[in-house]
Amino acid sequence: MKQTAPHPAPKAAQAFLGRHVWRLYAFLRPYKAALAGGLALNVLARACDLLPLALAGRVIDVAARGESQASVYVLYGLAILASFLFLAVFQSGSDYVLAAMAQKTRHDIRLSLYGHLQSLDPAFFEDRQTGDIMSVIVADVDTLESFLTDALTSIIRLVVTFVGIYGYLFFLEWRLALLLFLPLPLAIFAVRRFVTRVQPRYRETRRAVGAIAGLLENNIAGMGVIQAYTAEDRLHAAVAARSAGYRDEAIAAEAERAKFVPAIYAVAGLSFGAVFAGGGYLVAAGHGPTVGDYTTFVLFAARLVLPLFVFGMLINQIQRAEAAASRIAELLAVKPRVADRPEAVALPHRPGEIAFRDVRFAYPSRGPVLHGITFSLRRGEVTGVVGPTGAGKSTLVKLLLRYYEPTGGAILVDGRPLAGYTLKSWRGQLGYVSQDAFLFHGTVAENILLGRPEADLAAVRRAAAVAGADDFIMKLPAGYDTLIGERGMKLSGGERQRVSLARAILRDPAVLILDEATSAVDTRTEAIIQQNLHAFREGRLTLAVAHRLSTVRQCAEILVVVEGCLVERGDHESLVAAGGVYAGMWAVQSGAESGRDL
């Protein structure tokens, strides 16, 4: 859902609802007709709700005058019956319309948040815990849905009841209406004080929920490691500390509420007591309303006092919603560091060449990682990148994926800056396999089909065969329809890598990026995969990052990166003959392989 900027809220509305809750109107705007209909039905329901109280006073006055015709009383009785029937119809209709609107709005907010998350670059997710993000999308959005379903309906009832009753009471007897109104400024003062004190508490409570969710998500995902290192007690203590923080903030918020509720009860008592005392005196002295009107006044006043009690709970709900809306607004306000530029265009064709020209890069809050890297990827060729851990190899991949932008130099695609193309059109040309192959909960086939969902099973099996995965997949209990669990945990590391590789191959990408793509498979399987990939290189550009040099031995060109600098380049034979960094790495690894063979 596309967001639109909300209209500025009146200061009074912001003070009562909170500035972040008020921004929900941007999501409610598509449902203005439903909102107006729900409000109208609620107004009619409140009129039907109050009508019997007004009729009660009329019946008392009729009886006091000695009216004995039964038909008169029957008409009043039928009118009251009709008011109850219409109340049921209007109230249920209002509740349904507003509840349906709240569910649709919750759906839109959640989709808006998820869509926004998809636009953010990976750096955001590296800095923020998954559980915390989930608490915003699930718990905070549900809090707003509860607000829209319950609190919004209560606000409407309160406002309509308050305005309707006061209007009618001023019509009946303005002096008693003033007595009823006099203590209300005390309630306004109490509300302002409560809001000021409790709002920070609820904000901290919502943040504590996110912190707990993040810690639990992290611990549950790593439960095996926790058990292996017998760290259960220490991690249990960490969860207890986070939970205690939430508990203390929640109790502090309830303490503020406990101080606020007696003030509301006191105001209600003053108002109701003033009406009883003042009204009774006026009636007895003959200066006030009739007995019937006084009865109606007392009944209406009781109905007016009740919303004051509801008002105390309502303010509490609003402050919870404001805290949740604040976290949602905070998440929606995050801007992606990498986004389409205004002049960006869609990539018109499969690229023929990618050139890194004096590319430099430094991560935020860190020193430089790449220092003037220059090389080219050409169609039909495989370019390998090797080097020690931390040399900057994976950073090259992240720049090619446009997870980050170079801080210096440029990446050119067919002579044009990469940033000149839209992200979607560029990434649509990529096939990417990482060392930590991520698989989704679902079947093997569903994971392979991720980038090309329209492909048939034959195409899926051909891709899996190239990736050296078809044989082991067919041996699974349900073959390609086997459920592999969250993150593919039912498969081994090597099996996950091969499924991930099949996913990239099925897409038939113009650019294939392999980042330690076969690090978890045995050397025999790797040899088969490399042979298949060598044939798959035709018509595409391939970049293979590897620590195991046997992975890049057949590459047309191998780049050796050390501490962010390109120190050597050439094919395998020339680099070994040069006796430099690569030759030293090859001597160590080939010796290790020979020793393993022995």
Q: Tell me, yes or no, whether 245 lies in a domain.
A: yes
- Predicted confidence at residue 191, as pLDDT, reads 67
State how many domains the chain has. 2
What tens digit of pLDDT does each residue of 221-280 get?
A: 777 777 766 788 888 888 888 888 878 888 887 787 777 777 777 777 777 777 777 777
Q: What mean pLDDT, rounded, does the chain reach?
A: 82
Among all chains, which residue has been given the structure tokens 């392989």?
593
* pLDDT greater than 70 at residue 419: yes
Q: Tell me, yes or no, whether 242 lies in a domain.
A: yes
Whether 275 and 396 map to the same domain: the answer is no
Whether 182 and 116 map to the same domain: the answer is yes
- Predicted confidence at residue 22, as pLDDT, reads 75
Whether 262 and 361 map to the same domain: the answer is no
For residues 72-91, average pLDDT: 90
Whether 70 and 153 map to the same domain: the answer is yes
Confidence of residue 186 (pLDDT cuts 50, 70, 90): confident
Domain containing 410 — which CATH number?
A: 3.40.50.300
Quote the CA–CA distance of 152 and 90 in Å, as a whole number. Answer: 16
- Predicted confidence at residue 473, as pLDDT, reads 93
Closest residue by Cα to residue 498 from 536, 471, 531 = 471
For residues 417-435, average pLDDT: 91
Whether 360 and 381 map to the same domain: the answer is yes
Domain containing 288 — which CATH number?
A: 1.20.1560.10
Q: Tell me, yes or no, whether 526 lies in a domain.
A: no
CA dihedral 284, 287, 293, 296 (to 10 degrees): -70
- Predicted confidence at residue 195, as pLDDT, reads 66
For 294, list phi and psi in degrees, rounded to 5.
-65, -40
19 or 128: which leads in pLDDT: 128
- Predicted confidence at residue 536, as pLDDT, reads 83
- Predicted confidence at residue 410, as pLDDT, reads 94
Q: Tell me, yes or no, whether 12 lies in a domain.
A: no
Q: Tell me, yes or no, whether 189 lies in a domain.
A: yes
Question: If you write DSSP's letter for every residue of 410-459 in order, what string do you get?
Answer: EEEETTEEGGGB-HHHHHTTEEEE-SS----SSBHHHHHTTT-TT--HHH
Whether 395 and 310 map to the same domain: the answer is no
Coil/strand/helix, residue 335 = coil
For 273, list phi and psi in degrees, rounded to 5.
-60, -40
For residues 359-386, average pLDDT: 90
**Residue at which a domain ends, from 298, 332, 366:** 332
Quote the CA–CA distance of 325 and 338 in Å, as a whole number. Answer: 26
Q: How many degrees, rounded to 5, is the angle at CA 392 between CA 386 and CA 398?
A: 105
Helix axis angle, 70-119 relative to 291-332, nearest 10°?
A: 10
Whether 350 and 265 map to the same domain: the answer is no
Q: What would the two tokens of residue 203 be?
A: 């904000």
- Predicted confidence at residue 309, as pLDDT, reads 61
Q: Tell me, yes or no, whether 553 lies in a domain.
A: yes
What tens digit of pLDDT does each residue of 138-170 get?
A: 888 888 888 877 777 777 777 777 777 777 777
Closest residue by Cα to residue 464 from 451, 474, 477 = 474
Beta strands in 534-586 (DSSP E): 541-545, 557-562, 565-570
Give the percent of the chain with pLDDT over 70: 90
Yes or no: say if 84 and 52 are a contact pair by the CB < 8 Å rule. Answer: yes
**Residue at which a domain ends, from 332, 354, 387:** 332
Coil/strand/helix, residue 160 = helix
Confidence of residue 2 (pLDDT cuts 50, 70, 90): very low
Whether 206 and 255 map to the same domain: the answer is yes
What tens digit of pLDDT does each residue of 48-74 get?
A: 888 887 787 778 777 877 777 788 888
Q: Tell me, yes or no, whether 26 lies in a domain.
A: yes
Q: What would the two tokens of residue 400 be?
A: 């090619």
Whether 360 and 291 map to the same domain: the answer is no
For residues 387-400, average pLDDT: 90
- What residues contact 33, with CB distance under 8 A and at least 6 apart? none
**Residue at which a domain ends, from 305, 332, 359:** 332
Q: Tell me, yes or no, whether 483 lies in a domain.
A: no
Coil/strand/helix, residue 557 = strand
Whether 200 and 96 map to the same domain: the answer is yes
First to last CA, the chain: 62
Give me Rg for the CA atoms of the chain.
35
Question: If you write DSSP's letter for every residue of 79-145 in order, what string do you get?
Answer: HHHHHHHHHHHHHHHHHHHHHHHHHHHHHHHHHHHHHHHHHS-HHHHHHS-HHHHHHIIIIIHHHHH
387 lies in which domain range? 345-429+541-598
Question: If you write DSSP's letter for every residue of 229-245 in order, what string do you get?
Answer: TT-HHHHHHHHHHHHHH
Whether 125 and 167 map to the same domain: the answer is yes
Q: How many degrees, rounded to 5, is the angle at CA 425 between CA 424 and CA 430?
A: 90
Whether 311 and 354 map to the same domain: the answer is no
Closest residue by Cα to residue 177 from 5, 84, 329, 297 = 297
Quote the CA–CA distance of 590 and 598 in Å, as a whole number. Answer: 12
